[in-house]
Structure 1
């Protein structure tokens, strides 16, 4: 019987898909079951080489098996066969040959994975999809620069509600225009089969705003074809934290500089102010003597006019020096070099500091209106409050047009709310904030100012500082009518009653005379203090800690000691500690002089000791008051 006749009979007896191949790979015959399995009509397959239908990756295996059967026997193999619709079907082949015949008889069945394997693959696919869908990073897949897949994390970051809004769209729609050239180059790299390395890219949200993200592109196979998967991570919060840390470092540096500059200014300013005050006092006495002892005449009138003019010049100089002193004292609010320190604070004090610091920005743009009502103290760090108020005041000044109209105002209102919280309003009559901008003014890095004129961090930091204190900042604004920021703060628990500003204590007019030791490493400061005290007291001045210890150990009885805190070598703190060991009663009569520059040890020392403290430049009234208290107590 011929091979073709035998095959035909074989096909009639079997219901399974059957194929007859020649040893060189030609399809000689196939039955209807085979035709139904692969979708090809038998006529289209007959006398075609199997390589036209077998997947290229499986063709070599097929060749090897056919060659091994040339001498007879049987074999099993699996391969993927191209169906009429272009899809690939995995088939299991059982091939056999008879000796002396140039044909292979094949039984073909669909290759079906075991149920357990299918379930495992399905679970693996589901788990992988769930992992991608819930990943904290934004992930999308693109081919031909169009979206194939976008995970929920990226959709949320971009402001889209559904993936269908992006699938099929060009990926350029989420790239900031300034970064398009960079991204196009990265896409070419990934499509070419190389990794597009981690890089910072600005992504464009649906509403037109942008955010910074770190992005990496990886070439992959997706649905059987080449594609690129992109993973990105929003780094807005990280950049905000880094910027805030940098800002904190700058503030520490500014604080260190402010403290050092303040100390260096205070020393010469101390004797400048003291000498001006002494000169004015002398001029006043001289004028009184001229009026009493010299008869009126042309020459005397000229002398009196000159004296009055000189007194006026000295008064102006003293006023200018006083303003410098107040500026230096204001530097205390930014010269804190330690951790945040919370205490009961009257909000009007850091508010006044902020008004002084912002005065140059305010005075030329608007009229300042202050409405201070009695309020209880709040539990806060005064320097942090000063930073917040200063930012709000500067923003208020910048919101007012610089048109020279003189009709604008900035109002600062301190009050107690019905809910029992302290409220501080900073209101301006400026341009106002548009409604579409208002909800975002506290967002990090959001700013409407031109490039180089704002970081978008000021209000964000203010909001963070106030919330950290248990309060909040609210804003009301109307375009063309101005803006009001309101800071709400909880009152200090230990004292919830309104307090008034303390009045300075009256100077004791009946001051007892005594022997006073002045210790200061700046000779002009020591001489100035000696001139202030010398009219009523015996004063000894020394210029170092070593000289001070020698004077205190000499047997001379001192009734009071004015001691500079910070001196080279043996400091004022060292002098005090040695005296406290040898003469505790005398150590209680130390009055410390500070110039505003504190080490950690100095700050802790001043917090620990109960002694009186005077800041440079001197307040003459306070010097006499403290000395009177010390001498009176003795």
Structure 2
């Protein structure tokens, strides 16, 4: 290999500067020309020194000198010229002319004339092309096959031998043409591939240089291969210097913690694994969060030969996530307050209704007490007795006295009747007070802070939710059908589930009222579904939901109500997700009603039962 390099250097030294800096094909032709010319010059010297003195043919010396001068002139043309074609024409002309002159001068031809004839098509086609090569091949072939046999007709077998020489010359020309065509085709394909590759490289380079993402490539020794401007900027802020290709990406002076983390990641990547992590270096001038991805680069055999590093600034995304989390917490707080307000509304409805009953009972008792004639009759009877207390016996024998026992008996009967009526009203009053007490007690039970997970019975919670809506449902003429009997135990946040149920019951009531149908029916269904889940279904035969609205029901701000705000179902879906539950809806279309379902995880005790 070293000898070839030195030989090419010697050949290049004999070419002009233009040829050395030209196209590779032109340089290769120049090198071949120089080597061929020196070989022919050496052969010409041997011809003049060792062949011409021993043959009695005139003109051989002048022929050798002319060829030598032509070869020398070709070398000078290559040394000072700008193209190889003039030197190639001179070479092919001198070679063809020399062979023709020798074959015509020497009877029978020298022994080496036939191999030398093969150089004509080989050199002419490679140096000048197929068509000029055909011209030189025709001239040389006609000379060998036609002219020489005619001039030396006395030599036996010369015609057949020269015919085969000409035949092989044309065969060599054809093979050289095929090789040249194949080479040109391969060169064009290679040039197109290189052009496409350069175009892709230019686009990729433009993309990497203009992107704000950090991009670089590293070999298996951890040395930097290439880096884009974004990485250079981060590198400068982080380490206070510029990264240099060929040197380790992390210099020896890098912080120890950074080096250890880098070495750990490199070990994983070079073992064939992809590594991704987030980093927020404190030494950056502008604090930011980077999402870093390290990917191994494999060769054709599947071996790791390096890795690529991609880093994206996700600070804005992190801030957006933080704001979204804060908004989510605010929504949940608003949801909790809305749920408590809805509970309070239900409590007020129920308590208000009970207070109306209390008021009616109290007014009725007061009215009946005012209208009662028993106190007046008793007052008159006792007055008579006091008036005749000195002669009671005579009074009772009197006509008025004999009526007094009957009168007192009538008063006793009326008093007993009024007592029963008063007791009935007192019982009604007690029931109303008990109802108020139970509603307030239930409100206090559900007024805990959200987030407390407890084991509870879903059916009892449903009954509580229906009790809170009992007044409005009864007033609106909505029938309720309960399709559950056994207890269904779950372990979750009581307040969040109650909030969802109250929202679904409210929406169902609105849908039923908008439908305007007389047979308004609300169906509550509870069932077990595998694996270890409880499904609550709230179904109504109201106005239903359009198919195009179903996918957007749980989207924030979407509502089909004129006075709706679009938060109820969205907040309910968020609350369900926090409980590992799933809220969904199904409807066959407008006027076909709707069914909302909640899939809840069962508690541990119930799921093992």
User: Structure 2 length as normaliser, TM-score?
Assistant: 0.37
Bigger share in helix: 2
Bigger share in strand: 1
User: Structure 1 length as normaliser, TM-score?
Assistant: 0.35
